Amino acid sequence: MLRSPGFLLASAGVVMVSVTIGAFDGVLPLHFDSLLSQAEIAALYVGTSLVLAFWTVAAERFPLRPTLYLGTLLIVGGLSLAGAGDEVWIWIVALVVVGTGFGLAQSSSLGVLLEVVGTERIVLAMVAWSQAFAIGYLLGPAFGGGVAEALGFAALGIVPAAFALLVLWAALLERRERPLRHEGPA
């Protein structure tokens, strides 16, 4: 079960989300403080949390894998835009995009996990999946900080992009193992 391609996809998705959240929480405030006060930065983060919450709930209406892939793309684009932007309105747009991506990708990653793991083994799978999230969240500030220090905030999108490649790899592995489901008459 923990070696299945579906579990790998769910784990890759949550690691990509958590690494990016770690970079988002641990690095972007340093970029934002060039124009914003602590209270204004906090307001941006509260707004992002509301967007994340909305899309986490809304994600249930969409197919799991395409939603995970869309969320991944939105995270890469949103964090890239936030790091490269140097105006508050750009940051607001970027945080709406990244918050949407976080909500979609995290929710669909959990959905994939629940789909591929039988209920008799879900506890072990949830523990491993949660640990993947925790490890990613700890690595995010280190990776994000290293990228920002070496290349500047504009390069921050490298962090989620690198982990998006992990999602792509896991998706390709799962696709090879999982037959396509065709609906309708044969």
How do the domains of the chain map onto residue ranges?
5-176
Q: Is the pLDDT of residue 183 over 60?
A: no
Selected residue with higher pLDDT from 176 and 185: 176
Residue 123 has pLDDT above 90, yes or no: no
Percentage with pLDDT > 70 across the chain: 94
Mean pLDDT within 150-163: 94
pLDDT at 21: 92
Residues 47 and 35: their CA atoms lie apart, in Å, by: 17
> What sign results for the dihedral spanned by CA atoms 88, 105, 140, 157?
negative
Q: Angle CA(42)–CA(107)–CA(129) in degrees, nearest 5?
A: 100
Q: Give the per-residue pLDDT at 129.
A: 85
Residue-wise pLDDT tens digits, 24-74: 999 999 999 999 999 999 999 999 999 999 999 999 999 999 999 999 999
Q: Which CATH architecture has domain 5-176?
A: Up-down Bundle (1.20)
Distance (Å, whole) CA 35 – CA 95: 16
26: CB partners within 8 A, 6+ apart: 140, 141, 144, 145
